[in-house]
């Protein structure tokens, strides 16, 4: 089912005659386009494990087809499910040897209406905000998603294939039905959200719960708590985070600096699900400080840093350029 959908997506993107002959003039319209380049210095275990300069390219586009549905594509560098980075220079090995290829990770049809949304094809693994224990935002699910909205409730069902984790090119990945997810999100108040999820992945069941609260409305401060457990193995993982914008607190100007403080525990027996969370998943306990800031008000130039304190420490810092239409 997924392969014909991908061919239809490509037809809409390229404006193939067999498709456009059925449509009025200007049937395809570029609704959104984004380009992002990031460069970072990445040091793992004080340089004993990794010491490198890396780069990343991300391309996103949305095309409105006949005002009926959208074709959405996402391409990036990187060679795995959780990583979009390519090594430009390795300070340990010397040189790069990098294959700086850009792959279509995701390409799908999307139909949205007031009460919900449907996605079919190689779709994003998450519907909205990336979570500390959620699937990595760089990944994919080859299948479909249905979202339904009713008042303060959102119900999401996802099903499909997550495999070939070292093959980001969607046209080269195989398909094996091995993933299903049912998630309910409840916006209890404007500053309080609860989420409950049941997942089936590679014949194992995971239960996940998340809560997000902004204790002082009007100030950019959020407290997050997450817990996920492998039901078959009875082992947990969790993440507690504090997310805030000190610039907004000091000056009232929003979206200039985001600071995230995380504490995470990942049990070594959690299963495959644990390896799909991060490009640097660490079993056991870890504390993380993440920062991202914008040098220009429109966010075209940004910088970021991340420090992980664990049995294998990691530090990275970088900057990037972003263009959106």
> 29: pLDDT confidence band, cut at 50, 70 and 90?
confident
Looking at the domain assignment, is residue 192 inside a domain? yes
Q: Above 70 in pLDDT, residue 295?
A: yes
Buried b (16+ CB within 10 A) or exposed e, 76-107: bbbbbbbbbbbbbbbeeeeebebeeebbbbbb
Q: Above 60 in pLDDT, residue 292?
A: yes
N- to C-terminal Cα separation, the chain: 32
Q: Count how many Cα atoms sit within 13 Å of the Cα of residue 60 in the half-sphere of its side chain.
A: 14
Give the CA angle between residues 86, 174, 266 to the nearest 5°: 60
Residue 291 backbone dihedrals phi, psi, to 5 degrees: -140, 140
| Integer Cα distance of 284 and 289 in angstroms | 17
Stretch among 1-15, 108-122, 124-138, 298-312 having the lowest mean pLDDT: 1-15
Looking at the domain assignment, is residue 287 inside a domain? yes
Provide the residue range defining the domain that includes 118.
2-18+28-324
Torsion of CA 160, 126, 281, 221, to 10 degrees: -160
Q: Is 157 in contact with 145 (CB distance < 8 Å)?
A: yes
In DSSP terms, 153 is beta-bridged to 150, 186
**Residues 242-254 pLDDT 10s:** 999 998 877 777 7
Q: Specify the pLDDT at position 20.
A: 40
Stretch among 88-92, 96-100, 144-148, 313-317 having the lowest mean pLDDT: 96-100
Looking at the domain assignment, is residue 13 inside a domain? yes
Residue 262, domain CATH: 2.40.160.10
In DSSP terms, 236 is beta-bridged to 229
| Integer Cα distance of 199 and 202 in angstroms | 10
| Integer Cα distance of 256 and 231 in angstroms | 41
Distances in Å between the Cα of 141 and the Cα atoms of 62, 158, 178, 229 are 18, 8, 10, 21
Looking at the domain assignment, is residue 251 inside a domain? yes
% of the chain at pLDDT higher than 90? 67
Q: Specify the pLDDT at position 3.
A: 55
Looking at the domain assignment, is residue 162 inside a domain? yes
Looking at the domain assignment, is residue 243 inside a domain? yes
- What is the domain count for the chain? 1
Helix (H, G, I), strand (E, B) or coil at 232: coil
Q: Specify the pLDDT at position 253.
A: 74
| Integer Cα distance of 221 and 242 in angstroms | 7
Per 3-state DSSP, the chain is made up of helix, strand and coil in percentages (nearest 5) of 10, 55, 35
Q: Is 103 in contact with 168 (CB distance < 8 Å)?
A: yes
Q: Please, what is the average pLDDT of the chain?
A: 88
What six digits make up the tokens of 254?
């929003």
Helix (H, G, I), strand (E, B) or coil at 231: coil
Looking at the domain assignment, is residue 23 inside a domain? no
| Integer Cα distance of 20 and 224 in angstroms | 47
234: CB partners within 8 A, 6+ apart: none
Looking at the domain assignment, is residue 275 inside a domain? yes
* pTM for this model (two decimals): 0.88
């Amino acid at each position: 089912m997924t392969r014909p959908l991908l061919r239809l997506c490509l037809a809409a993107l390229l404006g193939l005659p067999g498709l456009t002959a059925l449509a009025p003039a200007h049937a395809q319209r570029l609704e959104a386009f984004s380009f992002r380049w990031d460069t970072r210095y990445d040091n793992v275990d004080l340089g004993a494990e990794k010491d490198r300069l890396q780069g990343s390219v991300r391309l996103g586009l949305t095309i409105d087809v006949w005002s009926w549905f959208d074709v959405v594509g996402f391409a990036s560098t990187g060679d795995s499910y959780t990583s979009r980075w390519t090594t430009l220079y390795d300070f340990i090995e010397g040189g790069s040897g990098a294959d700086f290829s850009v792959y279509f990770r995701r390409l799908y049809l999307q139909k949205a209406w007031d009460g919900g949304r449907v996605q079919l094809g190689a779709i994003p693994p998450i519907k909205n905000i990336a979570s500390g224990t959620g699937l990595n935002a760089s990944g994919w699910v080859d299948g479909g998603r249905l979202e339904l909205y009713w008042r303060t409730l959102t119900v999401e069902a996802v099903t499909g294939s997550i495999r070939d984790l070292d093959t980001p090119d969607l046209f080269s990945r195989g398909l094996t039905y091995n993933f299903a997810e049912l998630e309910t999100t409840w916006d209890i108040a404007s500053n309080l959200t609860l989420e409950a999820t049941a997942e089936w992945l590679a014949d194992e069941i995971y239960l996940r719960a998340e809560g997000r609260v902004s204790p002082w409305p009007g100030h950019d401060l959020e407290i997050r708590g997450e817990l996920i457990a492998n039901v078959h193995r009875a082992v947990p993982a969790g993440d507690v985070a504090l997310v805030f914008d000190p610039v907004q607190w000091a000056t009232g100007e929003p979206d200039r600096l985001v600071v995230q403080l995380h504490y995470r525990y990942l049990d070594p027996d959690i299963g495959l699900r644990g390896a799909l969370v991060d490009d640097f998943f660490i079993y056991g306990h870890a504390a993380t400080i993440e920062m991202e800031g914008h040098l220009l008000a429109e966010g075209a130039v940004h910088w970021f840093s991340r420090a992980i304190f664990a049995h294998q420490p990691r530090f990275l810092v970088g900057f990037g350029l972003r263009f959106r239409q």
